[in-house]
Structure 1
């Protein structure tokens, strides 16, 4: 379907607007001429009050959108399944583990990237888990109990769902001391609704003030009790709204109203517009003179204005109609250009009316689309780069060069039988590793690949290393990503068996394993995972263990951290990082590769991923 957005009948639209404007003007002029001065005055006053309320409602809607964005950020964090798994867990390794902290910190950083208005986020669990978005937790509380006690005193209630909003503390955010506003909500169990944690979001009060910085004479943001939450004058924060009677505000539940007050004998009008997300009010206080203008001159000017308006109205109608249609035409032309693929097209802002505001929104939308397009392009480039590195790893030129050097040496010394064995093993290795370009091969073929590689290394390196395999027969035909185990075995041969370790054993174990269900267990969420009668999920566990030189604890921690980074690990660990990324891409983010070791005793690399129903079919579709 083609969308035609060009304005085709601008002349007809301009005529209609001109006629409507002229008719409205004549009717208005006649009404103003018929009614008395007092009636006119009353109408103008009521009209100005409604305009003030409409402006207040519009600004309140803008402020509400701001708070709604903050609230949605909190809800998106609240709904994260991984966060719920951590807060529901009683396992100290999960509650206090570095992986949980890193996961939650990444979740908070992503939320702040999506909504830059959020300042800081604190997550505190009933189980003792505590995490902030990169800074240390604020001093008023250090755990869930202290945090809950602090905000219960501010109105947080366990029986009422949702969040509370309040004026926060002066906190060091973005390099300076900032007045903050705070949203606090309980985190509840998805099924039982039991409280499992608490989340505190802080954001700059000044960012809220920007939402109404160009509105009214004396704009404020107050809570339902009339306490100032945001204002230009920061000394008023936390104090009652000055010079305004707050009885109507505190006793009623009105969403939009204007009230008249006398301050030292002078009239002033305060417009209150409720903000739905927080229950607070936007307040704009105006003097009678600024709101109603020169009412004293109305009596003498009304007759002249009627006559002048009658004469001028047709000309103004034509002028304004052409101006309106010009903005519409420019807007539709910009939209048409964007729809044709020109993401650099922008609407030229020439005013602050609705058409120009729509144009500004369109410009913002195109900016976001362009940023997203550039981001997807960058992701594609990185993915292609990773694929090229993977192909290089599969070909393994160093293995080829080293093997050929060994062949040359044994030819020179006349050991042709050993040369034949080396060439045979190398041929078998590359035959399986290339595997006609297939991405997935059966587990038994992967083990054959490892065996050929292992025999090559023993022949060329003169290492007395024994390879042991113990494979569940039911997993022999299980198709896995090619070159999953070989890089791990290569890592063991190169790094575990140095000059001091010429002999040893490398064992490979592959088995099915059922994970227990319930709080604290890792969840492999999918509709087609095998499950036992107790409800636990079935996974495949592949373990490569050597009795070589082993690693120090800090080396193990560094390796596990680097292989789980989004960007490629240093060359020393690129093979492990590559395997980890591919199994996560194939079997989901719950799949994992971990390294454990005891210095001088052993090093063990473990791969765990979910065993799906119909696994062979699913993998074969990927190969096709």
Structure 2
């Protein structure tokens, strides 16, 4: 309530300035947001391009490493020294084991490239000997080794990639292959080596920024084989990241997907079912927004100062004539028709002031003529009522226009000025009291449009009039008071969702026009008292009785007004008058 009181105490000029400031700040913020979005988008595009280049480089290096490993394994498996060492018939004794170990050691360690790739492993011969290349010792295979031996032999020389036999940070994966005698084609055994993880780590650690980027080598079992974060080795990748990798794999291309806080790119190695995954945190991209934001803030402050100056000038040019017009309307609304106003503006406010001056002149002349002529008492009362209502209605409209301009709602304000001008042009109509139904409906529409600008959600309306009666004659201001009564009183207590319907048609030689609303309705006792001269009538229904009397004075008692109402459901007023061309 305190804020409302402060707002109401502000002058119109200050209200315009108060409202206009957010209108400047909001576009400024929008520009800031859009600019930041563009920077982020461009930064993201550049980050994606750089990430793709890094991913392609690492992928090519890993593929090359895998290719070299396979080449060396094939070369090692066909080495004559190795095959001779396995095929040799050794004595079944300690000395024989010594000879076997010596021959195998010489065969393995003479191939230096193999040693640079392997972290651990063994050779399982056809006669059930296990030669461990790390300990340089012989042992008997267990059941698991025998099972694995049969599996590798069944692959008939194909290289098998799998999980390392020893789960430690030194090993990335296992490579196994059966040893086929190059002379006889017989199986001499199998080799099973764990490949060093450092081979892959060394290939990408120089191109990855640990603070902002992550790179993973993942197998199909979701196991992290290599990563710059050493604590993640042989851990299971998260469900969200794995789902993203799978989606990229299904696309069969090097694509990227964005999650809430990171950019993810992935590709599959050409050798083996391994996934190389690159992850970039978004915060590294967002940092670029700060620089431009500071520049935009400085520009915005400058623009704000300039706008305040221009707004002050604009407010002065708008509010001064409007204040004069409001004061003039207030004086005439209190019956001072001798008041004058001087507004030199040629815009809508100037037009309205000119029309209002003419209206006041007409009202003043009409009042004098009514007193001079002393015509029928009820006609006099009706014209006097019309003369008293119009200034107050205009004052209320002008007050609403003032509020709309204050709220910077120019389009509704212009629309209200337009309909208000049309309304008073029709009301004045050079003193004509008989107009066409088409003109009366236009007047009603202007009135309804003005009310809808005041309360857009309060009601809707429809007008269904037969074409053959639109050009028939009707007394001016016959329908408008009924419509006004429906809007002002029928919809009292409602905020939205009401409807008003106007329908007209011929019924023999009579014209019937009904105005229906779904407002609060009229109690039955009040409906019965509306046209009862002997009862004390509710003031808001005074217009209905006068409309009936106008019709009867003009056309006779066969015509008039009928009211049907159900409290809580609505009211229907039917006006009847003769068909006159």
TM range (shorter): 0.3 to 0.5
What TM-score, normalized by structure 1, do the two folds share?
Answer: 0.35
Larger radius of gyration: 2
Normalised by the length of structure 2, the TM-score is: 0.37
